[in-house]
Structure 1
Amino acid sequence: MRRTTTGDPARRGLSALVALAAVALSAAPAAPVAPPASATPEGEAAEPGQVIVLPGASSAEGIAAGRGSTFYAGDYFRGDIYRGDAEAGTAARLIDVPRGRHALGMAAHPRHDLLFVGGGRTGQAYVYDIGTGRTVASYRFGPAGTTFVNDVTLTRSGAWFTDSRRARLYFVPVDRDGKPGRSTALRVSGPAAGIKGPWNLNGIQATPDGRTLIVAHSAKGALYTVDPVSGRSAAIAGVSVPRVDGIVLHGRTLWAVQGFRGQVRRIALNSSLTSGKAKKTIKSELFRTPSTAARFGNTLAVVNAKLHTGTPPTAKGYEVVMVDG
Structure 2
Amino acid sequence: MTPAPSRRTVLGGALAALALTATAAPAEATPRTGTATWPTVFPLPDGWLPEGITIGGGPYAYMGSRAHGGVYRTDLRTGEGTVLHAGGTGLASIGLKLDDDGLLYVSGGAGGTARVIDSRSGEVLATHQLTRDAAPFINDVVLHRDRAWFTDSRDAVLYGVPRGRGGAVRALPLTGEWVQAPAGTNSANGLVATADGRGLIVVNAGRLYRVSLRTGHATVITLTGAPDVTNGDGLLRIGRTLYVVQNRLNKITAWTLDRTATTATLTRTITSPHFDVPTTTAHHHNRLYVVNARFSSPQTPETTFTGVGVPL
Give the TM bin, normalised by the shorter chain: 0.7 to 0.9
Matches within 5 A, 1:304-323: 304-309=292-297, 312=299, 316-323=303-310
Q: How many Å apart are 1:63 and its aligned residue? A: 0.4
Identity over aligned residues, as a percent?
34
Is residue 16–residue 92 contact of structure 1 (8 Å, CA) maintained in 2?
Answer: yes
Which residue of the partner structure matches residue 78 of structure 1? 68
Matches within 5 A, 1:1-325: 3=3, 10-15=14-19, 17=21, 20-22=26-28, 31=33, 46=38, 50-110=40-100, 112-143=101-132, 146-174=135-163, 178-196=164-182, 198-207=185-194, 210-217=197-204, 219=205, 221-238=206-223, 240-309=228-297, 312=299, 316-325=303-312
Partners of 1:61 and 1:124 lie apart in 2 by 16
Alpha-carbon RMSD across the aligned residues, in angstroms, is 2.7
Q: How many Å apart are 1:103 and its aligned residue? A: 0.6
CA shift digits 1:164-200 (9 cap, x unpaired): 00100000012xxx22532121101122342245111
Judging by fraction of residues, say which structure has more strand.
Answer: 2
3-state SS of the aligned residue for 1:22?
Answer: coil
Q: How many Å apart are 1:319 and its aligned residue? A: 1.2
Q: How many Å apart are 1:15 and its aligned residue? A: 2.5
Question: In structure 2, what residue type is equivalent to 1:114?
Answer: L
Q: How many Å apart are 1:11 and its aligned residue? A: 0.9
TM-score calculated relative to the size of structure 2: 0.87
Q: How many Å apart are 1:69 and its aligned residue? A: 1.8
Partners of 2:176 and 2:45 lie apart in 1 by 43
3-state SS of the aligned residue for 2:88?
Answer: coil
Question: In structure 2, what residue type is equivalent to 1:262?
Answer: N
Alpha carbons of structure 1 residues 57 and 309: separation in structure 2 relative to 1, 3 Å: closer
Partners of 2:77 and 2:177 lie apart in 1 by 40
Partners of 2:34 and 2:72 lie apart in 1 by 14
**5+ residue gaps, structure 1:** 35-44
Question: In structure 1, what residue type is equivalent to 2:250?
Answer: G
Partners of 1:256 and 1:292 lie apart in 2 by 8
3-state SS of the aligned residue for 2:175?
Answer: coil
Segment of structure 1 superposing worse, 121-130 or 163-172:
121-130
Q: How many Å apart are 1:282 and its aligned residue? A: 1.1
Question: In structure 1, what residue type is equivalent to 2:303?
Answer: K
Question: In structure 2, what residue type is equivalent to 1:150?
Answer: N
Query: How many positions carry a matched residue from both structures?
Result: 300
Partners of 2:166 and 2:18 lie apart in 1 by 24
Is residue 194–residue 261 contact of structure 2 (8 Å, CA) maintained in 1?
Answer: no
Q: How many Å apart are 1:288 and its aligned residue? A: 0.8
Q: How many Å apart are 1:98 and its aligned residue? A: 2.7
3-state SS of the aligned residue for 1:15?
Answer: coil
Question: In structure 2, what residue type is equivalent to 1:237?
Answer: T
3-state SS of the aligned residue for 1:46?
Answer: coil
CA shift digits 1:35-74 (9 cap, x unpaired): xxxxxxxxxx935xx1111134531100011122222111
Partners of 2:32 and 2:66 lie apart in 1 by 23
Partners of 1:302 and 1:62 lie apart in 2 by 8
3-state SS of the aligned residue for 1:260?
Answer: helix
TM-score calculated relative to the size of structure 1: 0.84
Alpha carbons of structure 1 residues 60 and 145: separation in structure 2 relative to 1, 3 Å: farther
Q: How many Å apart are 1:210 and its aligned residue? A: 3.3
Question: In structure 2, what residue type is equivalent to 1:190?
Answer: G
3-state SS of the aligned residue for 1:102?
Answer: coil
Is residue 12–residue 98 contact of structure 1 (8 Å, CA) maintained in 2?
Answer: no
Segment of structure 1 superposing worse, 285-294 or 89-98:
89-98
Q: How many Å apart are 1:31 and its aligned residue? A: 3.8
Is residue 12–residue 133 contact of structure 1 (8 Å, CA) maintained in 2?
Answer: yes
Q: How many Å apart are 1:20 and its aligned residue? A: 4.0
